[in-house]
Structure 1
Amino acid sequence: MNSIDVSLFDSDIVYVSKANSRREVFKEVSDDLFKRGYVKESFLDNLNTREDAYPTGVDMTPVSTDYPNVAIPHTEANFVYKRKIVPVKLENPIQFHNMIDPSQKIEVEFLFMILNNDPEGQANVLAEIMDFLTQTPKEKLLEFFGSDSKTDIFNFLENNFTKVSN
């Protein structure tokens, strides 16, 4: 597969959220994505249902104990119109269940929400995100996670995400 290109990110759908719960942040982001024509009205319900059944929290401590944990929420292709990665910086850590051990809850500070209208492409996008998280130099990734500017987050991803797999 070719490396993912910058078109997976859109400066209009980068979020910094003050939400205090998973459902609250999902609603905030989903409502805006729906208004902008990225997802169907049924997206939010399906996103929550999928997250309940298949948790997406990623414990980053094996990569670095300095990194915040992330989550990579997504749902099936028939609920979205476009293929994008939606970055969401959480100002307040939110509990997600761990993807590897769903009985474990972890505090998450950043979401990479996958919108994928290609049913075959979900695993590829997930792999690209994991490559970005494990292969970006530590000092650069710490700076990225520390940012609360939508513009800085978008620019970092635009300038660094594609370079991971090249």
Structure 2
Amino acid sequence: MDADLIKINLDATTNSDVIKALGELMKRKEYVKDSYVDAVLNREATLPTGLNIGGTCVAIPHTDPVHVNAPAIAVGLLNTPVKFHSMIAPDQELDVRVVFLLAVKDPKEQVELLTKLMALFQNVETLQKIEMANEREEIAKIMEKAIS
């Protein structure tokens, strides 16, 4: 987990702002291609990624591997919640505080990664540690442990 892809105290007003900010971090380090952010935004419009995890709402935006150079996860902790549509009930908007922007290179690994993230989300204590963290390195360590 690259700590440079973690943004604490992210100021954003829309889910597009969040995706662009986190996608830019990935682009700068060449994890993703120039087409990545637009591809994520287009996918999010039709296949939303918001999840209500019992008290905390998260989002896991991602797109097709063709836009990815190397696998990565960018994490954004938002100062104020941003609306994402629910993955389960797309008409419903969720107030998301934590965003995990995924760049998956191998489609086979996507299922495994999503499974590990779901396990992380179900561990309320771990998710709260991420949400309350003040240091990028602290989040990176938690994420590494959860997805390794």
TM-score, normalised to structure 2, is: 0.91
CA distance in 1, matches of 2:57, 2:17: 18
One-letter amino acid of the counterpart of residue 40, structure 2: L
State the Cα deviation string for residues 42-97 of structure 1 (Å, max 9, x = none).
11110000000100000112xxx3xx200011000000111122221111210000
Question: Is contact 1:114-1:125 (8 Å) kept?
Answer: no
Distance 1:140 1:47, change over 3 A: closer
One-letter amino acid of the counterpart of residue 49, structure 2: T
Q: How many residues align?
A: 147
Q: Are 1:26 and 2:11 matched, yes or no?
A: no
Alignment of structure 1 residues 62-141 onto 2, 5 Å = 65=55, 68-134=56-122, 136=123, 138-141=124-127
CA distance in 1, matches of 2:59, 2:130: 16
Distance 1:23 1:70, change over 3 A: same
% identical equivalent positions:
29
One-letter amino acid of the counterpart of residue 144, structure 1: I
**Unpaired runs of at least 5, structure 2:** none
- Say which structure is richer in strand: 2
Larger Rg: 1
Which residue in 1 is equivalent to 2:129?
143
RMSD: 1.6
Question: Is contact 1:39-1:80 (8 Å) kept?
Answer: yes
Q: Matched residue of 1:156: which SS?
A: helix
Question: Is contact 2:120-2:127 (8 Å) kept?
Answer: no
